[in-house]
Amino acid sequence: MGWIVWPLMAFLIFVAPLWLILHYRGQRNATQGLSGEEHEQLQTLVMRAEQMQERIKTLEQILDAEAPQWRQRR
């Protein structure tokens, strides 16, 4: 019985509190949502994606006008 007391005490003193602290810190970060900087980054990515979508649409229109069969070549 004595052989299990020391490892159990070490676990309860060192590992369990650290585990709980890290667990609840992670929970808090997960429920906070996006920070201001992350929200800005997301807005920038959305804007870039919309710009790329417009560029792709323009390129497809150019290709349709100059090489109508380009879609069948895939």
Residue 74 has what pLDDT?
Answer: 65
Any residues with CB less than 8 A from the CB of 64 and at least 6 apart, and which? 70
- Residue ranges of the domains in the chain? 1-32, 37-73
Residue 1 has what pLDDT?
Answer: 66
Residue 31 has what pLDDT?
Answer: 75
* Sequential pLDDT tens for the chain (74 residues): 677 888 888 888 989 999 999 998 888 877 777 788 888 999 999 999 999 999 999 999 999 999 989 888 76
Residue 10 has what pLDDT?
Answer: 85
Name the pTM for this structure: 0.53
- Helices marked H in the chain: 2-10, 16-32, 36-66
